[in-house]
């Protein structure tokens, strides 16, 4: 089944404790992206990757890191999480250019205490 998977789905952590949210897709998509969803703010793009080893900042990259060492994986790293990073996070992937459908993962709900 073609899909985007994220792990973990739920995470409660404390301020400053490094964490990684994994994202994997099995559709051989070149493009992958991370978003955060907050009430009243919609979806905001954190980072995106056009292909292996090529990443760029979205609108809200502060406090996040990403890497794209393999085509199928695009982990999101929070080096020192803070409470304002409490949010619902989505990973997405798509073919080639910007005009294609993005396929979203099921989401990761992160709470930083």
What does the alpha-carbon distance between residue 84 and residue 95 come to, in Å, rounded to a whole number? 32
Single out the residue of 21, 25, 29, 48 in contact with other proteins (rule: CB under 8 A): 48
Check residue 1 for interaction with other proteins (CB under 8 A): no
Single out the residue of 7, 13, 22, 45 in contact with other proteins (rule: CB under 8 A): 45
Check residue 105 for interaction with other proteins (CB under 8 A): yes
Specify the residue, 56 or 79, whose C-beta has the smaller distance to other proteins: 56
Check residue 21 for interaction with other proteins (CB under 8 A): no
């Amino acid at each position: 089944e073609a899909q985007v998977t994220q792990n973990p789905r739920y995470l409660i952590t404390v301020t400053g404790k490094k964490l990684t949210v994994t994202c994997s897709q099995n559709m051989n998509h070149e493009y992958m992206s991370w978003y955060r969803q907050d009430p009243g703010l919609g979806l905001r793009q954190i980072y995106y990757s056009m292909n292996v080893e090529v990443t760029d900042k979205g609108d809200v990259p502060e406090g996040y890191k990403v890497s794209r060492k393999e085509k199928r994986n695009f982990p999101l790293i929070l080096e020192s999480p803070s409470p304002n990073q409490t949010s619902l996070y989505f990973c997405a992937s798509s073919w080639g250019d910007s005009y294609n459908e993005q396929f979203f993962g099921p989401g990761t709900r992160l709470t930083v205490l």
